[in-house]
Chain A
Amino acid sequence: MDDCGSPVLRRLLEALPDAVEETHARLGDATARVGRSRIVEVLQLLRDDPELEFEMLTDLTAVDYLGEEPRFEVVYHLYSVAKNHRVRIKARVAEDAPEIESAVALWPSANWMEREVWDLYGIHFRNHPDLRRILLYEQFDGHPLRKDYPKEKRQPLVGPRN
């Protein structure tokens, strides 16, 4: 696998060559796709390695590639304050078992962002301390950012007066 000239990817490939499935550095964003089962291992390395030192999980989101297999992709954006570099880590999650290990133990910032991904995409994060809906309400049916959720779909109103 190619490190695309990025020191972060080179270090990652050195340490965990079998976890990385694909790399690219298009538009200057170093990106690595890793196996779903290895995600925590990879993130742990990125956080703790003295050459990498990613103290911040800046962003966590998911993308729904409807029609592809595996369908979902969970995307992590990491930033290192000490080294001033960024990396994007992705992991594919299948539709029939939309599950991935939670990163809350590594960065507490993952807590709310994983709740959001669960809320909007229905991807389950294993070992998350408190996986509830966050932007929508408990009675909401479905996960609206999935591509097969129609934009115009209406949900029943809930509340004390209904």
Chain B
Amino acid sequence: MRRHRLFSLGLASLLLALGTAQAQAPLPSTFILDNGLQVVVQHDPRAPVVTAQLVVRVGSSHEPPGQSGLSHALEHLLFRGSEKTEPGEFSRIVERLGGRDNAYTTPDYTVYHLTLPSERLEVALELGADLLSGARLADEEFVREIEAVLAERRESIDDFPTERLHELWLAQAFPASGYRTPVIGWPQDIERLSPNALRNWYRSWYAPNNASLVVVGDVQGEQVKKLAERHFGRLPARQLPTSMPPLELQNPGARTVHIEDLHSTPYLLMGFNVPSRATAQAPQDVAALRLTAALLASGRSARLPLRLEREQPLLQQIDVRYAAIARGDALFSLSAHINASQPAPLATLEHALRAQLQQLKDTPPTVAEVERARNRLLADEVFARDALEGQAGDLAEYLGSALPLAWRADAETELHAVTAQQVQHVAQTYFTRERLTTAYLTTPEPPHE
């Protein structure tokens, strides 16, 4: 099943030296075809394998009210027949060649990716160009596929109270921007989608000048350029709809949402409106927020697992996220379940989490904590280069958000420079009540307290 995702995953690749020459990833080569298609090639000769990703800059945040889910439904439909392939044949071709493929939709962009032996790269590019321009979007395939999308929604969202809560929370957390729209779409909107709406959406956004092609692996830029020109070069550039980066209110006010479910372990989700790398006045704040997230919850010895999971058995599955790469504003979120084996009220957990955030505001973290978090983030960026798909996904994140690739290297420098005082500073600046949306999942109150 193709997965949508609400947060984009992936890490900025390492460009700075870590003390040895080979710590430097080679710079990707970039060129733009006459029709505006941006092509980025990252050479990695370790194995004769290549990953190709087609990134189209349209996602749920572009969708008008009442038509949520358009981008994701379109992603599904693109595999159901084109000029060159029969419905369902795309994945079969890739599998028969020993490769793998998948696709996902985010709020900002949609990605189609294939991994194949490198000498078969041309098949991937021909398939990619066919996705971008040759989709059939036939009525009968729409009817079948929209059922699949509705089933996906039921199985991946509606049957999971934490997922439903997450959707409602996003709708509160982004009062002014398209980031409130769920990637998969609201159920009543999915039911109202039409083949024509999808065709219009496809014609509006699927153009070479709104897409990037990322190729990572055992290939050279020149070779990719030749193949890209052969398969994508004939596609005409098109006038694109106007689209503004999603920006949020400076002080949206405290918001809450609450749902109940009889069978769930109580769960808390908190999110602060914060800038992303694209919208931050001070890029250093972004690096400090990234480091704060790692300091709080990355690893068993991070603050929250240590203090609220083992020292006090209050929570389980603590998760702290900050997606810094986006075309608009972002959230800094914390979520956790209560400890089911020693259940305390959800309010106790909320109180404890808030107290931990207050402590960050009151006292800068120790140097050792900052170093631990920083070392972890830096090492992760090296480890992420082990998988071609990881490298390509990281590039896709920047390209899909239309951010300069040079910022990947800057992110590294900025991370190196973060101090304990800056962590305290971003905590004081952003972890405020006016920026906070809190979501609660509880079991219905028993008749007595």
Do these two chains really belong together in a complex? no
